[in-house]
Structure 1
Amino acid sequence: MAVLDFEKPIIELEEKLARMREAARLQNAPELLMAIEKLAHDIRELQQKTFQNLTRWQRVQLARHPDRPHTLDYIEQITEHFIELHGDRLMGDDKAMVGGFAKIEDHIVMLIGCQKGRNIKEKKRHNFGMPNPEGYRKALRLMRLAEKFNKPIVTLIDTPGAYPGLEAEERGQGEAIATTIQAMFSLRVPILSIVIGEGASGGALAIAIGDCVLMLEHTWYSVISPESCSTILWKNRDYKEQAAEILQVTAHDMVNFGLIDGIIKEPVGGAHRNWSIAATLLKENILQHLQQLLSKPIDALLQTRREKFCAMGSIRDTTTQ
């Protein structure tokens, strides 16, 4: 398992605890039990202290943790059936964007999300989670299919941004993102959007126009990544930690700004430490919020959806009399 710098003291103690437990088992040494109990207590305290005082950059690192579950990992754990659908019917099938009909307990939903890939081969196949225009057009095609069959939409967001390559721009990257955003305001089905990892720029916003927008605890959401911001402001990437603080990118920041509707707790140490618990918490929140959204008239949802995003930000008149 990959280990971040601020995780190392915890991991070292956990490894020591594992060795002590194994020694107690093999040697039948009950005198170790008190020491084991104390060390376990110390680990819990260190975990609590560490993860209650994370910097914004450290939360960005957790959102990018290589062992963190991705969209298809969550789909495997929270759905009973998933039928993946492919292609935008215009250009091709962008594997950075996955989606299809899924059953979550009693609900049939259209589940759409960004997929990064786990190893080098998968990452290349999924373009490191950076969709091309055909990815957004596929997402929109699936959303309209969900509307046709009157099924709610759940989107899982985890992307470092839309693919910035020349070929993506030639095929209309900006238009594809803008069209998807525009269409989501008018879809006559409930939309639940959840940031499960990285939520960068318009590449994330394109599938995040939801009636309810949530973020997992250790995720980030911003118009630009800390590294790119650092490059623009300081001409190099070395000030990414300061940039993260200035941008205020965390889930708690987004709640304070009124840009999202809530935060989903993660297992202690982050979702990568316990996929099963992370998936259970995600599923519980999906079911809870779906129930709330499905109980509301669709016209009221559409009105609230539009008002919700139009109210974001502020306007100040600086003209003088």
Structure 2
Amino acid sequence: MINYLDFEKPLAEIEGKAEELRALARANEEMDVEKEAVALDKKAADLLVSLYRDLTPWRKCQVARHPQRPHCRDYIAALFNEYTPLAGDRNFADDHAVMGGLARLGDRPVVVIGHEKGHDTKSRIERNFGMARPEGYRKAVRLMDLADRFGLPVVALIDTTGAYPGKGAEERGQSEAIARSTEKCLQLKVPMISIVIGEGGSGGAVAFAAGNRVAMLEHSVYSVISPEGCASILWKDATKMREAAEALRLTAQDLHKLGVIDHIIEEPQGGAQRDKEATMASVGAAIEAMLDDLSKKSPQELLKDRRQKFLDIGAKGLAA
């Protein structure tokens, strides 16, 4: 069953009518409604194309947050084999908002790290809605150290509204943990690929996104703050999130123009939630292509490449 977003309500009505007709036909075999149902399917398909042709930044935020989008664990299950999860930061605890471990992408051994939001109420609470605490970032640092030691590429899957802002997290050094994770990304002598698969929120995302190549799914978002948070600060009114989303330039298209990201990965019509398998296959192909390119570089070239990438951020947009 599809969860429809607010702006998809007209689409929900048409697809609902088509399903009602087919349900009636199943209940009464003498009824022939296929012609009418097919016409509604065509109307729905045309409307879907129209709705997604030119999404506003706020609507892209809604799509990026869709609860049925594939999450980190889905990508790991679909793209990687021999996945061996590694837990804990060897200091305080294991943060379930961050998952990661050793795996193979095809025949290539890698270390994979990502935010996991959960898929139902129980798992979302367990995963803290993808908002990592300090121990999550320290776990990531431990995994990146392991990757560096054994010469394994790092793949990071980013999907978080931001790092957890709770009292305990601050007491345990949240900002320091995020900074250490970002620093470790920049120091790696192995290829690092970062993919924003949903939300890339604030320092919680940057901690995994300082890679040699950063890519975003077409309808994902990546920003220093959420539109609601930005609106609350600038206008003292969270309902101005649409205006904030426009100003933040958080879409994949805007960020590609500015040079913040390197690649945009296309999503199926209607967003990743409408065809999870196709979306995950596209992400897998993009990761393999980027790793193939980076595997030709020496450790020193990788360090130089990564450093130059972040020094150049914004230059494309300013020059334009």
Q: TM-score, with normalisation over the residues of structure 1?
A: 0.93
Query: For 2:133 and 2:265, how far apart are their aligned partners in 1?
Result: 29
- Cα offset, 1:268, TM superposition: 1.3
- Cα offset, 1:77, TM superposition: 1.5
Question: Residue 75 of structure 2 aligns to which amino acid in structure 1?
Answer: Y
Q: Which residue of 1 aligns with 2:39?
A: 38
Q: Which residue of 2 aligns with 1:27?
A: 29
Deviations 1:133-184 (A, max 9, x none): 1110100100110111111000000011111112111111111111111121
Q: Which residue of 1 aligns with 2:70?
A: 69
Query: For 1:78 and 1:189, how far apart are their aligned partners in 2?
Result: 20
Q: Which residue of 1 aligns with 2:100?
A: 99
1:84-123 matches, within 5 Å, as: 84-123=85-124
1:288-307 matches, within 5 Å, as: 288-307=289-308
Counterpart contact for 2:197–2:220, Cα < 8 Å: yes
- In structure 2, the gaps of 5 or more residues are 316-320
Query: For 1:46 and 1:123, how far apart are their aligned partners in 2?
Result: 32
Matched residue of 2:135: which SS?
helix
Query: For 2:125 and 2:254, how far apart are their aligned partners in 1?
Result: 32
Deviations 1:95-135 (A, max 9, x none): 11110011221221101000111222212211111111111
Q: Which residue of 1 aligns with 2:12?
A: 11
Runs of 4+ in 1 over 6 A off after TM superposition: none
Q: CA RMSD in A?
A: 1.7
Question: Residue 304 of structure 1 aligns to which amino acid in structure 2?
Answer: D
Deviations 1:201-229 (A, max 9, x none): 11100010111100011111011110010
How many residues align? The count is: 313
- In structure 1, the gaps of 5 or more residues are 315-321
- Cα offset, 1:29, TM superposition: 6.1
Matched residue of 1:48: which SS?
helix
Question: Residue 154 of structure 2 aligns to which amino acid in structure 1?
Answer: I
- Cα offset, 1:295, TM superposition: 2.3
Q: Which residue of 2 aligns with 1:272?
A: 273
1:257 maps onto 2:223 in alignment: no
1:223 maps onto 2:224 in alignment: yes
Counterpart contact for 2:160–2:201, Cα < 8 Å: yes
Q: Which residue of 2 aligns with 1:210?
A: 211
**Pair 1:28–1:290, CA change in 2 (3 A):** farther
Counterpart contact for 2:114–2:159, Cα < 8 Å: yes
1:157 maps onto 2:165 in alignment: no
Query: For 1:105 and 1:20, how far apart are their aligned partners in 2?
Result: 44
Q: TM-score, with normalisation over the residues of structure 2?
A: 0.93
- Cα offset, 1:74, TM superposition: 1.5
Aligned residues with identical type, % of pairs: 47
Counterpart contact for 2:70–2:272, Cα < 8 Å: yes
Question: Residue 117 of structure 1 aligns to which amino acid in structure 2?
Answer: G
Matched residue of 1:206: which SS?
helix
Query: For 2:251 and 2:295, how far apart are their aligned partners in 1?
Result: 28
